[in-house]
Structure 1
Amino acid sequence: MTGLVLLLICVLLISLSVWLFQRGLRQAGTDRVLERLSDGQPVAQEPNGSWIALERMFQRAGLGLLTMLIMPPLLLRVYIAWRYQRRVQRMIEQLPQLLDHSVRSLKSGRTLADAVLGAIDSTEAPLKEAMSRIQRNVQMGVSLPESVSDFAEFYERDEFRLFALGLKVNHRYGGNASELLENLIKMIREREQGARQLKAMTGETRMTAYVLAGLPIAMVGYFLMVNPGYLMSMWNDGTGRYLLLAAAALDITGTFVMWRMLRSI
C-alpha cells in the first residue's frame, strides 16, 4: 500500500513538471510580439470570483460544468488544459482562412463588419462556435472592435489580440482594412513558421526533459514489479526514504530548470 502511495505521488509530481515544461515551450518566443503595439492594446480583465474563473475555464475548453461530477478534479484539470490548448491551436490555424475570406469580401465592396461577420458564418468549428460570441455581442449593439476585443481576452491568445487591435485601430483612425488584414495574415503565418523552427531547434532539450521526467517513474515501476521488497526496504529506512525524496526533488528541479531555459528563449 505504501508503495502505491509513493508511486502515485511520483506520478503527480512528474506530471506537474511536464505540464510546466510544455506550457513554457508553448509560450516561448511570444512575450515580445506586441511590445511595439502596446499602445492601445486591450488589457485583460481579472475574473471576479473563483466560480466565474472556473466557468470561464470550462467554456474556453468547449465543455460543460457537469463534467466535474464525472472525472476526478486533478485529472479533469489536466484534461481541460490539454483540451483548451488543442482547441485554441486549431482556432489559430483557422484564423488566416477567416481573414482571407474577409479580405475578399472587402474587395468586393462589403463593409468591414459585414466582411468579418460573413467570414465567421463561412468558417468551420471550432472557430465558428467560438466566434459566435462576437456575433451575439454585435447583435446586442456592441461595436465589432469591442466584441473582438472581448473574444481575444476570453481566449488570451496574442493572435486574437492582434486581430482585435487591428480592428480597433482601423475603426478609430480609418485606413485600408484589406491591407491591414493581409498584413495580419502574414504575421500569423510567420509566427507559426517561427514556432515550428523553435520546436525543431529545442527538440534535443525537450527529449532530455521527457527522459528526465519519465525515467524515475519507469524505475519505480520496474522495481515494484521485479523486486518490490528492495524499494520498500529503502522507504522504511530513514536514510533510504531521505534518498528517495531527494532523488525526486532533484528530478523535478532538473525538469524545471530545463523548462526555464526554454522559457527564456
Structure 2
Amino acid sequence: MNPLILLTLGATLLACLLVVLGAHAYAAGRAQRAALIERLTASGAPEPLGRRRRFRGVDRRLRRTRPGRRIEVKLATTGLDLTPGEFLVYMLMSVAGVWLVSAALLAPFFGPVAGLIGLWAGNAFLNWQRTRRTERFINQLPELARILANATQAGLALRTAIGMAAEELEAPAGEELGRVADRLAVGHSIEESLGELTERLPSRELVVLVSTLVLSARAGGALVGSLRNLTVTLEQRKETRREIRTQLSQVTVTAYLVPAIGLGSLLLVDMMMPGALDRMTGAFIGQTAVIIALGLFTLGFILIRRLSKIEV
C-alpha cells in the first residue's frame, strides 16, 4: 500500500482518538463543574427539612444573568422561601394563566395586555413584600434598641449584644440580626455588616440606629444613654406612622378601586352586550381607545398612590 495512504489513515485514526478523548474530558469536566455548583449551592443556602427545591436547572442558568442576580437580591430582602428559578417559573405560569383567562372572558386583544400587567405585578409583588418586611422590621426597632441598651449597660460587647438580640427577637429582625452576627463572627467589621443591613432594609430609623452604633463603636461615647433616647424617639415615630397609615387607609383603598372599576366596567359591557369587546378591539380605533383608557386608569392609580405617600 502507498505509504502516503498509510500516513493519512494513521493521522485520521489519531485525530479521531484525540476527538474521543477530548469529548470524554469535556463531559467529565462539565459533570464535575455541575457537582461543584450543586455542593456550593447546597452549602450556601441549606434547604429546610421537607423542602425540595424545584427547577434547579432553570435556577442555575438564571443566576448567571444580570436579571437573575437582581431577582435573587430582591428575594433575599423579601424573606420569601423561593429561589430565583422557582419565582421565575411560577410568575410565567401565572402570566400564562392570566393571559388565557383574560382572552377567554374579555377578548383575545386583552390577553397580551393582561400578560404585560402580570409581569409588572410580579415585580410589584416583590417590592410590596420588601416594603412590608421593612415595615415589620421598623416596628421592632424600639425593642431592638432597648435590648442593645440593656446588654451594653450590663457590660456586654456590641457584637455579643447583637447576637443576643438576634436570638430574642422574632422575624424579620431576628433573621436579619442573625446574618449580621454571622458576618461579625467571621471577621467582618461592625460598620460593614450593619451597612449591608441598611442596604437590604432601607429606612431612616434603621440608618439612625446604625449610625449611632457605628459611631459609638468607632469613637466611643455614652452608648447606653444614646440608645435609651433613641428608643423613646423610635416609639414616638412608630405611633406617628401608625396614625398616618390609619388616616390614609381610605385613600389607599381608593387607589386600588380605580383600576378595579375599569375592569368591572369592561365585564359589565360584555355581559350586557355579548361580543361587544370582540367587535370593539377588532378595529384599530377601538384598540387605541382601550390602550388610552388603560393608561389613564394606570396614571390615576399612580397619582393617588403618590399623593397619599407621606414620608415621616
* TM-score calculated relative to the size of structure 2: 0.61
Could you tell me whether the CA contact under 8 Å between 2:194 and 2:210 is conserved in 1? yes
- 2:187 is aligned with 1:141: yes
Conservation of the 8 A alpha-carbon contact between 1:99 and 1:185: yes
Determine the structure 1 residue equivalent to 2:84: 65
Asked if residue 211 in structure 1 is aligned to residue 257 in structure 2, the reply is yes
Which whole-Å CA distance do the structure 2 matches of 1:222 and 1:260 have between them?
Answer: 29
The alignment status of 1:262 with 2:281, answered yes or no, reads: no
Q: Is the 8 A contact 2:142 2:234 kept in 1?
A: yes
Task: Compute the displacement of 1:55 (Å).
Answer: 1.8
Instruction: Tell which deviates more after alignment, 81-90 or 100-109.
Output: 81-90
Residue 53 (structure 1) aligns with: 70
1:89 to 105, 119, 135: 135
Question: Once superposed, which parts of structure 1, at least 4 consecutive aligned residues long, lie more than 6 Å away?
Answer: none
User: Which of 167, 170, 173 is the matching residue for 2:216?
Assistant: 170
Q: Quick one: distance in 1 between partners of 2:162 and 2:245?
A: 32
Q: Secondary structure at 1:220's aligned position in 2?
A: helix
Deviation at 1:237, TM superposition (A): 4.0
Percent same amino acid among aligned pairs?
23
- Gap change, CA 1:200 and 1:86, over 3 Å in 2: closer
1:102 to 138, 148, 161: 148
Inter-partner Cα distance in structure 1 for 2:221 and 2:141: 22
Could you tell me how far apart the structure 2 residues matched to 1:54 and 1:230 are? 40
Cα distance in 1, alignment partners of residues 171 and 243 from structure 2: 27
Q: Alpha-carbon deviations, 1:51-97, whole Å to 9, x = none?
A: 43322112112232342354025354344333323333222222322
Residues 258 and 301, structure 2, Cα contact 8 Å, conserved in 1 = yes
Contact kept? 2:147, 2:165, Cα under 8 Å? yes
Distance in 2 (CA, whole Å) between partners of 1:76 and 1:190 is 34
Structure 2: distance between partners of 1:209 and 1:60: 26
Q: Of the two structures, which has the highest relative contact order with CA contacts closer than 8 Å and spacing of 6 or more?
A: 1
The alpha carbon displacement at 1:217 in A equals: 0.8
Amino acid in the other structure paired with 1:53? R
The whole-number CA distance in structure 2 between the counterparts of 1:85 and 1:243 is 35
Partner of 1:71: helix, strand, or coil?
A: helix
The Cα shift of 1:172 comes to 2.7
Measured against aligned partners, the alpha-carbon deviations of 1:144-196 in whole angstroms (never above 9, x if no partner) come to 23311221122223332222111112123322111211222223222222222
Give, in angstroms, the shift of residue 123 of structure 1: 1.7
User: Do 1:99 and 1:116's aligned partners in 2 also have CA atoms closer than 8 Å?
Assistant: no
Output aligned runs, 1:173-252, within 5 Å.
173-252=219-298
Letter in 1 for 2:71: L
CA contact (8 A) 1:61 1:87 kept: yes
Count of residue pairs the alignment pairs up:
218
Q: Name the amino acid aligned to 1:71.
A: Y
Q: CA–CA distance in 2 between the matches of 1:86 and 1:201?
A: 18
In structure 1, C-alpha distance between the alignment counterparts of 2:293 and 2:72, rounded to whole Å = 38
Match of 2:308, SS? Answer: helix
User: Which ranges in structure 1 are unaligned for 5 or more consecutive residues?
Assistant: 1-47
Distance 1:49 1:232, change over 3 A: closer
Q: Residue 238 and residue 124 in structure 1: after superposition, are their counterparts in 2 closer, same or farther (change >3 A)?
A: closer
Unpaired runs of 5+ residues, structure 2, are: 1-64, 93-118
